[in-house]
Structure 1
Amino acid sequence: MALEPDQSAPGPAGTERGAALYRKVAADLREAITTGAFGEAGRLPAEGALAEQYGVSRGTVRQALAVLRSDGLVTSRRGTRRVVLGNARVQSFSELLSFTHWARSMGEEPGGILDSLVRRPADAAEREQLRLEPGAEVYAIVRLRTLSGAPVMVERTVYPPRVGELVAELPADVVSHTEQLREHGILFTDADHTIDVVAANAEDARLLGCRRGSPLLRERRRTTDPTGTPVEWSQDRYLPGTVAFSVHNSLATSALSRHARDSD
Structure 2
Amino acid sequence: MATRALDRVGSEPLWRQLRHELLTRLDAGEFTEQFPGEMALVEEYGVSRHTVRQALRQLRADGVIVAERGRQPRIAPPPEIEQPMGALYSLFASVEAAGLPQHSVVRAFDTRADALVAERLDLEASTPLIYLERLRLAGDEPLALDRVWLPASLAKPLLEADFTHTSLYAELTQRTGIRLDHGREDVHAVIPTAAERTQLHCAHDVAAFSINRLGHAHGTPVEWRHTLVRGDRFALTAEFSAGSGYRFVHPKMT
TM-score (norm: length of structure 1): 0.68
Aligned length: 240
The question of 1:26 aligning with 2:23 is answered yes
More contact order relative to length (CA 8 Å, sep ≥ 6): 2
Q: 1:254 Cα shift?
A: 7.9
Measure, in 1, the Cα distance between the counterparts of 2:51 and 2:102: 41
Aligned to 1:7: 7
1:222 equivalent among 205, 213, 219: 213
Aligned to 1:189: 182
Larger radius of gyration: 2
- SS of match in other structure, 2:33: coil
User: Retained in 2: the 8 A contact 1:22–1:64?
Assistant: yes
CA distance 1:115–1:53, change in 2 (3 Å): same
Q: Where in structure 2 are the equivalents of 1:78-117 lying within 5 Å?
A: 81-82=72-73, 84-89=75-80, 90-117=82-109
Q: Which has the higher strand share?
A: 2
The RMSD of aligned alpha carbons is 4.1
Measure, in 1, the Cα distance between the counterparts of 2:98 and 2:45: 33
Aligned to 1:260: none
Q: Any idea what the Cα deviations from partners look like across 1:180-201, whole Å, max 9, x if unmatched?
A: 2234232253331222324446
Aligned to 2:120: 129
Measure, in 2, the Cα distance between the counterparts of 1:141 and 1:83: 38
CA distance 1:136–1:149, change in 2 (3 Å): same
Measure, in 1, the Cα distance between the counterparts of 2:115 and 2:42: 53
CA distance 1:54–1:6, change in 2 (3 Å): same
User: Retained in 1: the 8 A contact 2:178–2:217?
Assistant: no
Q: Where in structure 2 are the equivalents of 1:10-89 lying within 5 Å?
A: 10=11, 22-23=19-20, 25-26=22-23, 28-29=25-26, 37-38=33-34, 44-50=35-41, 52-53=43-44, 59=51, 62-63=54-55, 66-71=58-63, 73-77=64-68, 81-82=72-73, 84-89=75-80
Identity percentage of aligned residues: 20
| Structure 2 letter corresponding to 1:82 | P
CA distance 1:191–1:36, change in 2 (3 Å): farther
Aligned to 2:252: none
CA distance 1:6–1:224, change in 2 (3 Å): same
Q: 1:24 Cα shift?
A: 5.1
CA distance 1:91–1:36, change in 2 (3 Å): farther
CA distance 1:214–1:4, change in 2 (3 Å): closer
User: Retained in 1: the 8 A contact 2:84–2:236?
Assistant: yes
- SS of match in other structure, 1:145: strand
CA distance 1:143–1:26, change in 2 (3 Å): same
User: Retained in 1: the 8 A contact 2:179–2:217?
Assistant: no
Structure 1, unaligned runs of 5 or more: 39-43, 256-264
Q: 1:161 Cα shift?
A: 2.4
2:148 equivalent among 151, 154, 157: 157
CA distance 1:197–1:254, change in 2 (3 Å): same
- SS of match in other structure, 1:49: helix
User: Retained in 1: the 8 A contact 2:146–2:225?
Assistant: yes
Q: 1:119 Cα shift?
A: 0.9
Q: 1:23 Cα shift?
A: 4.2
Q: 1:120 Cα shift?
A: 0.9
Measure, in 1, the Cα distance between the counterparts of 2:219 and 2:56: 41
